[in-house]
Amino acid sequence: MIFRPKRDLAGQLAIAMMAVTLICLILSVLCFYVIYGILYLTKAEGPIRPSDFFLDTYDMLALGLAGVTGLAISSFVAVNLGRRIARPLRSVGRTTRRIALGDLTARATIEADAPDEAAALVADVNRMAERLETVANSVVTWNAQIAHELRTPLTILKGRLQGLVDGVFIADQRTLSSLLKQADGLSRLVEDLRVVSLSDSGRLDLQMTSVDLAGEIESLVHFVEPELQAAGFNIALNLDTGDTTIDISRTRQAILALIENARRHANPCTLRVGLHLSDKQIVITVIDQGPGLPPEFVSRAFGQFERADVAKSDGRAGSGLGLSVVQAITTAHGGEIAYSADQSGTGFCITLPRTPFALVT
């Protein structure tokens, strides 16, 4: 280990200021001799005796007093300035060491007399610490939520399979269809988790292709229509035809999430699915007849694992990922999603650019 002597900032500033003061004092004496030498040689100020070049006792006392005073003032100013700069730096150092040891609640302190640069550094470090704490808490919450969401369907699936092994259930078409439905739900949940996590990390890549979106929506509706009809819903389509450049797999996932959200939470009605194409935009709408989102829930409806209280109480709450998945896919396309509620119905509107933003030059 290499020995490194302590180098206090205030001490180093004091030494530097004292050195500057001494240098200035020496230079002033040298300038005195230079000026007297010029005057002696040019006789500009009358005869100058050689003895005038030497400092007498009073000159030495005055020069010494000025030097000591200058050294005292410079060292005082340097020490105080160094302490003003060093205090926030020490606070930042203590905070970063605590963060490195795992204490994400650590924050650096700032004083009123701190220089602007030091104050900005403290503020930046505190923002970084807050962000780290938020991310760490989110990871803990995320892991707990994932475990909770996977536990129920896995428990059901395991129980059914164990029942088949023990001979409690008969391996008929109804039982196998139920198991397949549980597996399908698990697969959808895992895919939703994947989409949201990729979106959060900025790595949700899209495979853009030119497709007939109206035909794709018709195919999707035809696939889910039996389940919707069993829940008391009818489907009304209003689709503009034309080619669009999108990631069709992700877009189908987003539309399916909105339809599933309506099936789960809306009253049985005619579910209206629309597609409007303009020169610049693709507008996809899924509208039902309510009751819609509670007003206090609208602001957090697109958050991960968010569920309205009314959905929790009546047992219709899903994973809480559907709308966050829709938002992630919409954002990846460079679009927006909005919720609306009026007398004509409640629903969601996805607006995407007709020309993908990644392809615009």
Give the residue extent of every domain in the chain: 9-114, 138-200, 209-359
pLDDT tens column, 60-73: 777 778 777 877 78
**What is the 3-state composition of the chain as percent helix, strand, coil, each rounded to the nearest 5?**
60, 15, 25
Residue 361 pLDDT exceeds 50? no
The two counts, helices (H) then strands (E), for the chain are: 8, 7
pLDDT band at 312 (very low <50, low <70, confident <90, very high): very low
Distance CA 9, CA 13 (A): 6
Q: What is the pLDDT of residues 165-198, one digit of tens each?
A: 887 777 778 777 777 777 777 777 777 777 877 7
pLDDT tens-digit series, residues 112-136: 777 778 888 888 988 988 888 887 8
- Cβ neighbours of residue 194 closer than 8 Å, sequence gap 6 or more: none
User: Taking the chain, what is the end-to-end CA distance rounded to the nearest angstrom?
Assistant: 57
183 vs 276, more confident: 276
CATH number of 138-200: 1.10.287
pLDDT at 229 over 60: yes
Q: What is the pLDDT of residue 195?
A: 80
Contact 207, 240 (CB under 8 A): no
At residue 95, the 3 state secondary structure works out as helix
Tell me what pLDDT residue 356 has: 64
Say yes or no to pLDDT of 36 above 60: yes
Work out the angle at residue 142's Cα, subtended by the Cα atoms of residues 335 and 251, and round it to the nearest 5 degrees.
25
pLDDT of residue 359: 46
Going by pLDDT thresholds of 50, 70 and 90, the confidence category of residue 305 is: low
Find where tokens 């005038």 sit.
52
pLDDT at res. 238: 92
The mean pLDDT of 223-234, rounded to a whole number, is: 88
Give the DSSP H or E segment for 238: strand 234-239
Phi and psi for 285 in degrees, rounded to 5?
-125, 145
Rounded mean pLDDT of the chain? 78
Tens digit of each residue's pLDDT (9 = 90 or more) over 314-350: 545 556 677 888 888 898 888 999 988 887 788 899 9
Work out the average pLDDT over 215-229: 88
| Global confidence as pTM | 0.58
Q: Looking at the predicted structure, is the pLDDT value of residue 51 above 80?
A: no
CATH topology of domain 209-359: Heat Shock Protein 90 (3.30.565)
